Amino acid sequence: MLAEISAAAYRLRLPLVLYSAVLTVATVAAGRLSPAPIGPTVATLALVAVAGVTAVLALAVMAAAQRTGSQRPALIVDGAFHTPRPGTFPLLAVAMLGLAGAAVVAPAEAGQARPVFWGAGAFGVLTLACCARAIRHGIGLTLTPHGLHADKHTGSVTIPWEAVDPRRVWSGPFEVRLRYTRPDLVRTTGWVVNPHRFRVDGIATGFVAATIQHYAANRTELVLIGQPAGQLHPATEPVSPPRSVEPWNLSSVLPLLALAAMTGAGAVAADVWAGRRWGDVSVPGLVAHLLAIQALLAAALLARGSIRLLRRRG
């Protein structure tokens, strides 16, 4: 079911985000025009509820895309090879719109809790700004006879096959990594921090790495890309590089694990403080609970990925 929701959210991403924006504006207007404090309170709770539900759904979709049992056994064939693009970011956009709307319509009776709403709203707006490209284009890889094209969070990378080193292609739990023989041929747009790391969802990363490795090493077969006959066997895995040059190491994984632990601990501490300050069943208390749940889920996903990397390393 999550796979269907994810596919539908990505396919209808622009109408979904636009409709959510219109609905958010309408809810804010209704809350502002209704008698205080009932109108603003109801509007705030409605927007926070929408934000919480869609944020949890976005995290669930992201987690489902990483589960082995739900990963596609082949690339999507459409004149090229594509990795699946989940609906995580469109759903996340709906959640962030809800947070931004709640910050605007939060009732004056919230008193000292209003900074909580303002902070959540600012976070929502910042997230929307940072993920605007990912919301529109998705995150994934496209293979063509001419090379690779990767859509990333804030930019894109275009890599001709001549630049790919087939001996240095790695797969991890969340991504594929490449090293280049001709880095001067690689082109980027937007803001790209890591032009050699590519997020892959909904498909086994080992299979994607094996496909890239195969075509980088067999240039005469590039014409098969985009055709069903060009698909490798679903169980194909990349040829492992020498252990000494594998990029996954403790120094790159342990900071992620520490960040996950600090995020989880901070979320719990902030939630307990908010509950004691304003009460667990108050509007700010409920908002704090929802934000804490989202932060804990994000921390759990980050910890899960870090542990998988450590286990793979061992």
**Residues 57-92 pLDDT 10s:** 888 888 777 665 456 667 888 889 999 888 899 999
pLDDT tens-digit profile of 262-298?
A: 888 988 998 888 888 878 777 677 777 877 887 888 8
The CATH fold of domain 139-247: PH-domain like (2.30.29)
Rounded to two decimals, the pTM is 0.70
Residue pair 123/48 in contact (Cβ under 8 Å)? The answer is no
Residue 167: is it exposed, middle or buried by C-beta count within 10 angstroms (0-12/13-18/19+)? middle
Report the pLDDT value the prediction gives residue 243, as an integer from 0 to 100: 42
Residue pair 209/170 in contact (Cβ under 8 Å)? The answer is yes
Domain spans of the chain, in order of start: 1-72+86-136, 139-247, 248-314
Q: Which residues on adjacent β-strands are paired with residue 57?
A: none
> What average pLDDT does the segment 10-20 reach?
92
Distances (CA, A) of 251 to 242, 247, 258, 264: 19, 10, 11, 21
CA 133 remoteness from chain centre: 12
Q: Write the single-letter amino acid at 302.
A: L
> What average pLDDT does the segment 290-309 reach?
78
pLDDT tens-digit profile of 111-148?
A: 666 777 887 888 888 889 888 999 999 899 999 999 99
Q: At what angle do helices 114-130 and 283-313 cross, to 10 degrees?
A: 40
> What average pLDDT does the segment 205-226 reach?
91
Higher pLDDT, 203 or 186: 186
Q: Write the single-letter amino acid at 190.
A: G
